[in-house]
């Protein structure tokens, strides 16, 4: 997985901060303990000075160095023992004075024998996702702010159910989808005119799924195409690899598909991302205002047939909720 150098820099800074915090917190704990038990500080100083005495013994060249070293070792062990007993006696855990790492595998260095530790891989991933999601309104929408009562209860001509009934079902479906989300979840196509709540519900799904610990990326199609074209044809000094990250994330939400400017490159990049995700079995949610025949006109046949064959379609109905909210003075 390739990330940009900016992502690497941010991650490195975060790892440095983690390590610094480990030692700062250790110092704080030591102070707390020494205040309560001054003898402990004496012991710590004594332990530190024995290592100097060991070095002196080794370099002195005197006879019976081995015997002297053995003595010092025992002396040191006794001091350690006394320290542990003092900790327990004063109600502290035995490891109270040690370094408390976030990751014990790599001691928060990010590497084990020159290989990147899983904690750093996770942090790189989170950093990249945060950066890609930083331009989207991910934090603004959740299920509790979706108001189904704004949809009409009147059954339209030629329909069997009212918008409020249909939208209640869609709302429940999306909520369950988020609650039960897994890498085996379905792909969804949220289709309907502007202002019917597609973005709101997909962002609510994103927020919920992120809170369950999954890696989610939300992108509007125009922003995605801009980003991919910039990486493909623009300044290549930074080795950003959005296409790879989008293919790899646990859930990809592609909003406003069909509003991006159309180019052969954009169409094929979008197809590649969606197709690869289907092949490796990772869920995608697409929002679009386009009808199926519009989609067929805008995109290649193979992309539309992929979407038709592999996505569960949710048809959003009703009148523009943003207009209704405005009329009611809600926004």
Min. distance of Cβ 103 from Zn ion in angstroms? 3
Alpha helices by DSSP H, 37-116: 38-60, 65-89
Nearer Cβ to Zn ion (103/252): 103
Q: Please, which residues have CB within 8 angstroms of residue 296's CB and are 6 or more apart in sequence?
A: 304
Is 15 a binder of Zn ion (CB under 5 A)? no
Choices 103-111, 122-130, 284-292, 304-312 (CB under 5 A): range interacting with Zn ion: 103-111
Query: Which is closer to Zn ion, CB of 49 or CB of 122?
Result: 122
Rule CB under 5 A: is residue 105 a binding residue for Zn ion? yes
Check binding of 103 to Zn ion (CB under 5 A).
yes
Which of residues 7, 40, 83, 117 is near Zn ion by CB under 5 A? 117
Q: In this structure, what are the phi and psi dihedrals at residue 288, rounded to the nearest 5 degrees?
A: -150, 150
Binding window for Zn ion (CB under 5 A); candidates: 30-38, 109-117, 142-150, 177-185? 109-117
Residue (56 or 121) nearer to Zn ion, CB = 121
With CB under 5 A as the contact rule, which of the stretches 117-125, 144-152, 193-201, 317-325 interacts with Zn ion? 117-125
CB of 9 to Zn ion, least distance (A): 19
Provide, rounded to whole angstroms, the least separation between the CB of residue 112 and Zn ion. Answer: 7
178-183 contact pairs (CB < 8 A, 24+): 178/143, 178/204, 178/205, 178/208, 178/209, 179/208, 181/205, 181/208, 181/209, 181/212, 181/214, 181/251, 181/283, 183/250, 183/281, 183/282, 183/283
Least distance CB 86 / Zn ion (angstroms)? 31
The residue among 103 and 150 lying less far from Zn ion, judged by its C-beta, is 103
Query: Interface with Zn ion by CB under 5 A: which range of 86-94, 112-120, 178-186, 252-260?
Result: 112-120
How many of the chain's residues bind Zn ion (CB under 5 A)? 5
Q: Give me the least distance between CB of 250 and Zn ion, in Å please.
A: 21
- Smaller CB separation from Zn ion, 11 or 284: 11
Which region among 99-107, 156-164, 220-228, 246-254 touches Zn ion (by CB under 5 A)?
99-107
Q: Rounded to 5 degrees, what are φ and ψ at 191?
A: -125, 140
SS3 labels along 155-171: CCCCCCCCHHHHHHHHH
CB of 14 to Zn ion, least distance (A): 12
d(CA 265, CA 271) in angstroms, rounded, equals 10
The two three-digit tokens of residue 5, written as one number: 């150098």
What single DSSP character describes residue 186? P
H/E/C letters for each residue in 275-322? Answer: HHHHHHCCCEEEEECCCHHHHHHHCCHHHHHHHHHHEEEEECCCCCHH
CA 23 to chain centre: 26
What gap in Å lies between CA 112 and CA 91, rounded to an integer? 34
Residue at token pair 């300044």: 235
Window of 43-51, 65-73, 95-103, 191-199 that interacts with Zn ion by CB under 5 A? 95-103
Kindly indicate which of the ranges 25-33, 98-106, 263-271, 275-283 contains the residues binding Zn ion, using the contact rule CB under 5 A.
98-106
Residue 116 makes contact with Zn ion by CB under 5 A? no
Structure tokens at 276: 């690869």
CB nearer to Zn ion: give 103 or 303.
Answer: 103
Q: Which of 106, 123, 201, 209 binds Zn ion (CB under 5 A)?
A: 106
CA-CA distance, 79 to 69, in Å (whole number)? 15
Nearer Cβ to Zn ion, position 8 or 75?
8
Among 119, 170, 209, 295, binds Zn ion (CB under 5 A): 119
Binding site for Zn ion (CB under 5 A): 103, 105-106, 117, 119
């Amino acid at each position: 997985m390739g990330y940009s150098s900016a992502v690497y820099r941010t991650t490195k800074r975060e790892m440095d901060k983690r390590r610094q915090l480990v030692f700062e917190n250790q110092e704080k704990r030591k102070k707390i303990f020494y205040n309560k038990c001054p003898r402990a500080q004496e012991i710590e100083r004594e332990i530190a000075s024995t290592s100097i005495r060991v070095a002196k013994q080794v370099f002195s060249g005197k006879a019976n160095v081995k015997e002297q070293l053995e003595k010092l070792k025992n002396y040191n062990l006794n001091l350690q023992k006394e320290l542990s007993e003092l900790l327990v006696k004063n109600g502290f855990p035995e490891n109270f004075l040690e370094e408390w790492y976030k990751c014990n595998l790599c001691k928060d260095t990010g590497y084990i024998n020159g290989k990147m530790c899983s904690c750093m891989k996770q942090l790189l991933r989170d950093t990249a996702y945060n950066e890609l999601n930083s331009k989207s309104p991910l934090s603004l929408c959740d299920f509790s702010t979706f108001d189904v009562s704004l949809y009409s209860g009147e059954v339209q001509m030629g329909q069997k159910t009212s918008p409020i009934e249909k939208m209640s079902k869609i709302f429940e479906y999306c909520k369950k989808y988020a609650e039960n989300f897994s890498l085996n979840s379905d792909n969804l196509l949220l289709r309907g005119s502007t202002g019917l709540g597609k973005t709101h519900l997909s962002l609510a799904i994103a927020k919920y799924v992120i809170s369950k610990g999954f890696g989610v990326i939300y992108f509007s199609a125009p922003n995605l195409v801009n980003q991919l074209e910039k990486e493909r044809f623009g300044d290549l000094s930074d080795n950003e690899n959005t296409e790879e990250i989008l293919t790899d994330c646990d859930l990809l939400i592609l909003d406003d598909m069909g509003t991006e400017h159309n180019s052969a490159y954009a169409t094929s990049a979008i197809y590649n991302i969606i197709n690869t995700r289907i092949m490796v079995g990772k869920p995608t949610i697409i929002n679009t205002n386009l009808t199926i025949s519009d989609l067929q006109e805008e995109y290649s046949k193979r992309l539309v047939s992929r979407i038709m064959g592999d996505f569960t379609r949710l048809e959003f109905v009703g009148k523009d909720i943003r207009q209704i909210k405005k009329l009611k003075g809600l926004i």
